[in-house]
């Protein structure tokens, strides 16, 4: 049986599960919607992955990343738990070895990562605004009645993109409605929106960063050829979208797990059987002091297996 490593990236919008081999080649990849239920999404992802690789690959390490990385880590018994910025950088420099800039736009966050000689030297992530991320594009596609997959292609058909105010998601929508009512056609409005979002991204997240080639564009939004074209136009450089652009975080997590397992010699992976175990999360407010921390409890069947969220560590460290 082949040795493989599992990477799981649970984000706000999508849950991605990949299996890579010793060389980092992708053996299986999966992109499913989280739909606000991370536990369910992870289970589904693991189940489908197990069906694909069962009997062919032996899982020798697991890494998790994304906003639900800690939750997922206790569920599956992860060897590494890494933030999504590092995970994305690791994957990008693996797939495109001489990458110097990574543009990553996901469901609710967007980031820019600057690499020099394969090492992250700077990064930025949207802080107070999520205009222009995947969720907003989804919403606009739904409002205009076009499937999100067609969004980018339509943008490419535009001859004269309309200027849309892209600073704020809500105002961008008002502006688009206004332009529609003035009589602009759909392609021009969509192309205008793509340009506005790219402008907003470069002016906020990308502000002050030295964007050098090769520029890699990844995350779910990289599927949108309209946004990609808008980036090429704004940056006047080729934009590389890697083969597995929408599961790069998971690939990074798997690569990190591979390296970690090499160092420590074994894995904590609980096996694909975890899909049959009942996991639940609940929370309560600790009234021990003025901080009033919201403590999260993770149950495996009826047993608490992890707690977090408290600042003082009183709950985190209680023997399970």
Partner 1 sequence: MKISFPYIGNGPIAFKYFIEELGHEAVVPPKPSKRTLSLGTQYAPEFACLPFKIILGTYIEVAEQGVDLIITSGGCGPCRAGLYGVLHQKILRDLGFKTRIMVLESVKRYPIRFLKNVHEVISPVGTSWVKFARKFWEGWEKLKALDETEQLSHEIRPYETVKGATTKVYNEALKLIDAARGLDEIRAAKEEARQKLLQVPRDPSRHPLKVGIVGEIYVVIEPFANLDLQVALGEMGVATARHMYLKQWLLDNTGNGEEKISKWARPYLNEMIGGHAIFSVGEAVMYAKQGFDGVVQLAPFSCMPEISVKGILEKISRDFDMPVLTVFLDELTGKAGLQTRLEAFVDLLWQKREKKAAARARELEVRAI
Q: Applying CB under 8 A, which residues contact partner 1?
A: 67, 82-86, 109, 117, 119-123, 125, 127-128, 208, 289-292, 311-313, 317
User: Minimum distance between the CB of residue 57 and partner 1, rounded to whole angstroms?
Assistant: 28
User: Minimum distance between the CB of residue 173 and partner 1, rounded to whole angstroms?
Assistant: 20
Nearer to partner 1, 1 or 290 (CB): 290
User: Minimum distance between the CB of residue 27 and partner 1, rounded to whole angstroms?
Assistant: 26
- Round to whole Å and give the CA distance between 88 and 91: 5
CA angle 77-29-119, nearest 5°?
75
Q: Give the other-Cβ count within 10 Å of 234's Cβ.
A: 16
Nearer to partner 1, 157 or 283 (CB): 283
Nearer to partner 1, 125 or 186 (CB): 125
User: Minimum distance between the CB of residue 146 and partner 1, rounded to whole angstroms?
Assistant: 31
User: Minimum distance between the CB of residue 182 and partner 1, rounded to whole angstroms?
Assistant: 31
Nearer to partner 1, 29 or 82 (CB): 82
Nearer to partner 1, 120 or 211 (CB): 120
Would you say 258 and 222 are in contact if contact means Cβ atoms under 8 Å apart?
no
User: Minimum distance between the CB of residue 208 and partner 1, rounded to whole angstroms?
Assistant: 4
Nearer to partner 1, 44 or 82 (CB): 82
Query: How far apart are the two ends of the chain, measured CA to CA in Å?
Result: 36
């Amino acid at each position: 049986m082949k040795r493989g490593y599992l990477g799981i990236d649970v984000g706000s919008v999508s849950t991605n599960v990949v299996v890579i081999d010793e060389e980092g080649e992708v053996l299986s990849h999966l992109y499913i919607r989280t739909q606000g239920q991370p536990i369910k999404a992870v289970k589904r992802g693991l189940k489908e992955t197990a069906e694909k690789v069962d009997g062919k690959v032996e899982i020798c390490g697991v890494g998790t990343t994304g906003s639900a990385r800690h939750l997922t880590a206790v569920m599956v018994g992860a060897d590494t738990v890494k933030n999504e910025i590092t995970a994305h950088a690791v994957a990008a420099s693996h797939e495109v070895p001489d990458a110097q800039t990574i543009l990553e736009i996901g469901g609710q966050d967007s980031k820019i990562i600057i690499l020099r000689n394969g090492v992250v030297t700077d990064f930025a992530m949207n802080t107070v605004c999520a205009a222009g991320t995947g969720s907003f594009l989804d919403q606009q596609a739904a409002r205009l009645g076009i499937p999100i997959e067609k969004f980018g292609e339509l943008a490419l058909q535009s001859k004269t993109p309309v200027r849309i105010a892209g600073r704020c998601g809500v105002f961008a929508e008002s502006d688009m409605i206004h332009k529609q009512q003035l009589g602009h056609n759909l392609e021009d409005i969509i192309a205008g929106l793509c340009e506005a979002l790219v402008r907003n991204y470069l002016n906020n997240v990308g502000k002050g960063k030295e964007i050098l080639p090769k520029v890699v564009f990844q995350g779910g939004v990289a599927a949108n050829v309209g946004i990609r074209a808008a980036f090429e136009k704004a940056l006047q450089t080729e934009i590389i979208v890697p083969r597995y652009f929408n599961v790069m975080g998971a690939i990074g997590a798997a690569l990190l797990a591979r390296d970690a397992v090499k160092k420590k010699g074994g894995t904590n992976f609980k096996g694909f059987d975890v899909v049959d175990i009942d996991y639940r999360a609940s929370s309560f407010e600790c009234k021990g002091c003025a901080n009033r921390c919201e403590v999260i409890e993770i149950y495996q069947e009826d047993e608490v297996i992890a707690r977090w969220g408290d600042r003082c560590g009183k709950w985190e460290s209680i023997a399970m």
